[in-house]
Structure 1
């Protein structure tokens, strides 16, 4: 008897079945036979008996069988909760609606006024528009520079020494869940199983859940061929809309048994001791720290110019920007991978918004609104940087569209958000989350105006635009680009990748690519807001092993060390 008795299954208990590792198999007289994936103590048996209203007969059953049968039987319930759980709990926090009614009315009024102004006062309207865009561009750039420069003075990483890890006893470690959402990743699942198989954590306390979309038989078959260990559980995500990574992760969150939970992408290769380091880091942090972010680096950083720019960008973000946001107690948009959560807090937050295509940034803002904080642990996950232009534009357009969605969602009730996080943190949110896509949207027009003023001899822009606006545009070009080049040059220092420094001079060109992606993002926000532009992995000619990129993130020589306790 290994199949669940569907007549005994209760929808109210569906998450308890998988999270506690048991399921009713049938009756034996007055008793109910249950299959359990773990030893049940007296207290657990008593609680289960009370839940099903009958005495128990316990038999061993594999956790994979329990999860598969429960998810399939309650597939509609899991699908609805994964897609609409956050929306049902608080519609205002979900990106299911692109614009609220008030935002629709406000946008309509703005467009009418703008069109009328362009018709009646064409040149003054254009001048004012350029001036406002310039101020937004410069303000956002100066904010990022200020935060990153401030962060360069601090070492906020939770450093964990080898002795603390060695002191951990397997029997004292909590259950840890690893979620890996995959879609059409058949070419790299063998590498995935190999990479996660290196994690230094007791197998009976490590639960690796690979989330595969229902129609993705190719990936499911490839996983089976790779012969994953017994603690790897393949969960078929019930078909539904929107078909996004956060929706799949919400299914994983419902079935997760771990006290702690981490997200990895299909191509990720975390350092083997990352989970143990995170356990130690959480033990040193207070209860308000509910997420530990590991650093990201690229094993193919030397592959081409694009991957070098990726590596520069991530170095600056993880080693300086995150530190600056944290030390100033500002909202932190989470990264999409290698986020280690306290599972209970993640469920309290409502999981991920499946309608937001940059669900990590949104979750960081929601966490901040509840007074939660993000820590950084000194461990690195190696990833594959996008090495092809078309894939890069698609990936960045999704990221930028998600920032647009997040800005619109949290701008619906600005008074409430200010009340939750304060005015200073609200302006930080506005400059970082809303300011980033607005900045990228301005890059191409500003560059075109600059090039036209020099390349077209008969075009005298000084006659059309007031000197103050022209000076503001020049400041944007010189100071804005100069500051971002400087920040990207700073990025490699903590990682010792000095060979990357000179490539930071190409940052203005890199921003032009972001600007192109931002216009694609804006178009998709209008036409298909919840469309998930998938990033193709396994395209690199580089291999993880033998890559000459230093995976470590050594501590800087900080002027000050921030005490987060």
Structure 2
């Protein structure tokens, strides 16, 4: 018998070519016992599987059953270095041009240098004309990106594409026929809230024997690991220690979890998430209804602490319009959909086909949504909400948004490396949508501060003085951007609360211009980090809110 302590497999028995099978099928040869090979299993061997393994191993098999968590520990002790390497650099090795590990490709560097030389030469020879041209071009980009979001969201408001699942349909499900579901929860320095995490995920209404919850903890994060142990999680909760490696990011940890996931479906939750208990069952039904081209179901996100302060109210407004209108508009127009960072439910086989997440992209969710779209896959929306904690402190907000905007910059650069190929794959219309949404969003935010300053100057400084520097037409264009662009976004944010009945939020939308100024400040931090430390993951602290999620 194998003892109850840490299990260290005999490496002489392990075949590196079979490590994928070991992980997914839940078996692994670990020791000799006379003329037999001891095979550790986390789910038991069927008669057919036993015969298959005896032929594969060339010896009689003696099965040793153990909890899944112990099996995972044994697997990581044997293949931890391989898991770390594949999680960090697998996508880059398979297709370097799809990875954000390289910020700029050789072609992008050449084009960028030529553009900078041209701008520098124009600035020396025709300084005023160059400045006017840059302001005018930036204004057009700003207005085009804003109009695109407004048009798409307005179109989305006419549809309710959320896959609605009734309580009767859920009650009709047979637990014995439900597929295995894997929940991945990447955590880092979250000791203060893991107790709440275990409680929230423990409420999920899904058969325990069909549900595995893999909590991904970085190797050096002993404090979080100890806090998880102290919370006494159920047996189907597995703590997977992510080996040290670079880059140390959420998507790298998720790639490690994907290697060991045995579910037919897989969902990502963040440490502070409180999903509705029936969300997994709703998603199973939604996938059953959808065609095979739908490989992701996105649940809606909202905030349990929306009333905490002005910042959390603006967060709630933004998420309401995005999930209730923008996603619907993108879907009905068959345009690429950038995923949210949590509550993404995948067909696990399709996720593996896509190569998992890019660990070098700090908005791996948006990147994955674009990659899925490029392969002709679709994203569905399921009628369930996950409650999150909105960032309530200004410094943390700027850091979080700078990471999101930097990730959009990375995603735009990655998928613009082969623009003609992308256009041939997804079509000119969808490529234009990608450019306006993924590329246009950072450019829009970069323009907010200078356009606001120029608009204020045009009001404060006499027009005759300003017109000696800028043509009146350019000044009017900037003013139009300021009024129309901000007016459209205020309107969209006012629409947001209606589907959820949160009418008390509506009038806070008039503060959206100030909210965008904060985004603009974050965008300049994002641009600086893209140049100086492109793969740095700005950690967002959770558990700081004085509010707690309501019981479901």
For the criterion TM > 0.5, the same-fold answer is: yes
Would the aligned equivalents of 1:453 and 1:459 in 2 still touch at CA under 8 Å? no
Per the alignment, residue 362 of structure 2 pairs with: 357
Deviations 1:332-377 (A, max 9, x none): 0000000000000000000000000000000001000110000000
Per the alignment, residue 40 of structure 2 pairs with: 35
* Secondary structure of 1:32 counterpart: strand
Per the alignment, residue 101 of structure 1 pairs with: 106
Please give the alpha-carbon distance, in whole angstroms, between the structure 1 residues aligned to 2:117 and 2:186: 43
- Mapped pair 1:415 → 2:420: yes
* Secondary structure of 1:40 counterpart: coil
Number of residues paired by the alignment?
547
Q: Name which of 123, 134, 155 aligns with 2:139.
A: 134
Matches within 5 A, 1:414-493: 414-457=419-462, 460-493=465-498
After TM superposition, the structure 1 stretch with the greater mean CA deviation from structure 2, 463-472 or 326-335, is 463-472
- Mapped pair 1:243 → 2:248: yes
Matches within 5 A, 1:289-438: 289-438=294-443
Please give the alpha-carbon distance, in whole angstroms, between the structure 2 residues aligned to 1:75 and 1:63: 16
Please give the alpha-carbon distance, in whole angstroms, between the structure 2 residues aligned to 1:149 and 1:501: 17
* Secondary structure of 1:302 counterpart: coil
Note the C-alpha offset of 1:454: 2.3
Deviations 1:379-428 (A, max 9, x none): 00000000000000000000000000000000100011111101000000
Per the alignment, residue 188 of structure 1 pairs with: 193
Please give the alpha-carbon distance, in whole angstroms, between the structure 2 residues aligned to 1:50 and 1:442: 66
Note the C-alpha offset of 1:512: 0.2
Please give the alpha-carbon distance, in whole angstroms, between the structure 1 residues aligned to 2:453 and 2:531: 25
- Mapped pair 1:75 → 2:75: no
Note the C-alpha offset of 1:457: 4.7
Unaligned runs of 5+ in 2: none
Deviations 1:170-195 (A, max 9, x none): 11011100000000000000000000
- Mapped pair 1:508 → 2:513: yes
Q: Name which of 146, 153, 157 aligns with 1:152.
A: 157
Please give the alpha-carbon distance, in whole angstroms, between the structure 1 residues aligned to 2:51 and 2:58: 10
Would the aligned equivalents of 1:18 and 1:66 in 2 still touch at CA under 8 Å? no
TM-score (norm 1): 0.95
Unaligned runs of 5+ in 1: 552-565
Per the alignment, residue 559 of structure 1 pairs with: none
| Gap change, CA 1:387 and 1:508, over 3 Å in 2 | same
Note the C-alpha offset of 1:545: 2.2
* Secondary structure of 1:158 counterpart: coil
Would the aligned equivalents of 2:30 and 2:37 in 1 still touch at CA under 8 Å? yes
Please give the alpha-carbon distance, in whole angstroms, between the structure 2 residues aligned to 1:367 and 1:11: 29
Note the C-alpha offset of 1:459: 7.4
Would the aligned equivalents of 2:27 and 2:39 in 1 still touch at CA under 8 Å? yes
Would the aligned equivalents of 1:452 and 1:459 in 2 still touch at CA under 8 Å? no
Deviations 1:139-186 (A, max 9, x none): 000000000000000010000011111111111011100000000000
Note the C-alpha offset of 1:32: 1.0
* Secondary structure of 2:238 counterpart: strand
Please give the alpha-carbon distance, in whole angstroms, between the structure 1 residues aligned to 2:93 and 2:464: 56
Per the alignment, residue 228 of structure 2 pairs with: 223
Would the aligned equivalents of 1:315 and 1:491 in 2 still touch at CA under 8 Å? yes
TM-score (norm 2): 0.97
Matches within 5 A, 1:17-56: 17-56=22-61
Please give the alpha-carbon distance, in whole angstroms, between the structure 2 residues aligned to 1:26 and 1:470: 77
| Gap change, CA 1:226 and 1:477, over 3 Å in 2 | same
Please give the alpha-carbon distance, in whole angstroms, between the structure 2 residues aligned to 1:416 and 1:20: 37
Would the aligned equivalents of 1:138 and 1:476 in 2 still touch at CA under 8 Å? yes
Per the alignment, residue 536 of structure 1 pairs with: 541
Deviations 1:214-240 (A, max 9, x none): 000010011011101000000000100
Per the alignment, residue 119 of structure 2 pairs with: 114
Deviations 1:300-331 (A, max 9, x none): 00000000000000000000000000000000
Aligned-residue Cα RMSD (Å) equals 1.2
